[in-house]
Amino acid sequence: MTSSIASGSGPRRSRADRARQVADVLHQQVISGAFGTGVLPDERLLAAEFGASRNTVREALDILRAEGLIDRVPGLGTVVVNRKYAHGLNQLTGLAETLSAHGEVSNEIRVATQVRPPTAVARRLGVPPHEPVVYVERLRRLGELPLSLDLTYLVPDIGLPLLEADLRNTDIFALIEHISGQPLGTAEIGIEALNADAHSAALLEVPAGAALLVLERLSRLDDDRPVDLEYIRFRGDRLTLRALATR
């Protein structure tokens, strides 16, 4: 057996390999709140814990720093500077609903109007071609910071009454259930990681190229009718998705 986590068998592993191995564990500890005080153990303690050299630990901390998770504060050490929020994938919930324990979600309504949808959108929503649908574009914030940019297409019988509602302070899911008089049923979700284009980055207040979690989500009412097609860009540094898979 090798004497520590960070060495390996066979040819000697590079420090970068060992640093990544340490960084992955530390990253999960940080985002799960394992360092309650927000201050990480010092490099000497981390080196002992991981059976790694202090140079390796320093390189691992550099990776977390580049991710924007931690920073060095003179006199304090290495501190957690970014909080990531978890959004469950198995249960269909709105953002304000999910994050209610963490603060208020506010929505800047960039567009809310009727549009003639492209064929691909009409087909996904099951509406006849050329029939107008409702389009809503929101920049969503938790506290002061942007969390996501959401482009939403809604079937007209739900979307039109929804245009009269308080979109600024209410999840669209809650409004759909109120208007339709039935609960939502299921949603099909596609998840990608993409580098932010310059304009989306500026809106989300991240550097161009920042990693985004990008979702396409088609939500259906309890009776299985598709009603809501969304294209969502989440800031990668602010959100973690959680899922439970079964064999």
Q: Which stretch binds a second copy (CB under 8 A): 75-83, 86-94, 100-108, 138-146?
A: 86-94
Binding track, positions 180-219, relative to a second copy; x by CB under 8 A? ---xxxxxxxxxxxxx-x-xx--------xxxxxx-x---
**CA dihedral for 61, 62, 67, 70, sign (positive or negative):** positive
Among 38, 39, 51, 106, binds a second copy (CB under 8 A): 51
Site for a second copy in 148-177 (CB under 8 A): 151
**Phi, psi dihedral angles at 208 (to 5 degrees):** -55, 140
Of residues 114, 219, 215, the one with CA closest to residue 160: 114
Binding track, positions 9-28, relative to a second copy; x by CB under 8 A? xx--xx-xx-xxxx-xx--x
**Phi, psi dihedral angles at 25 (to 5 degrees):** -70, -45
The reply to whether 53 sits near a second copy by the rule CB under 8 A is no
CA distance 237 to 67: 7
CA distance 196 to 14: 31
The reply to whether 226 sits near a second copy by the rule CB under 8 A is no
The reply to whether 79 sits near a second copy by the rule CB under 8 A is no
CA distance 144 to 146: 7
Q: Which stretch binds a second copy (CB under 8 A): 74-82, 91-99, 139-147, 164-172?
A: 91-99
The reply to whether 55 sits near a second copy by the rule CB under 8 A is no
Copy the structure tokens of residue 35: 């360092």
The reply to whether 44 sits near a second copy by the rule CB under 8 A is no
Bridge partners, 105 (sequence order): 142
CA distance 8 to 199: 44
In the complex, minimum distance from the CB of residue 212 to a second copy, in angstroms, rounded to a whole number: 6
In the complex, minimum distance from the CB of residue 47 to a second copy, in angstroms, rounded to a whole number: 11
The reply to whether 223 sits near a second copy by the rule CB under 8 A is no
Instruction: Residue 91: count other Cβ atoms within 10 Å of its Cβ.
Output: 10
In the complex, minimum distance from the CB of residue 77 to a second copy, in angstroms, rounded to a whole number: 19
In the complex, minimum distance from the CB of residue 140 to a second copy, in angstroms, rounded to a whole number: 16
Give 64 or 75: the residue with its C-beta nearer to a second copy. 64
Question: Which segments within 7-54 are labelled E, that is strand?
Answer: none
Copy the structure tokens of residue 189: 């979700």
The reply to whether 37 sits near a second copy by the rule CB under 8 A is no
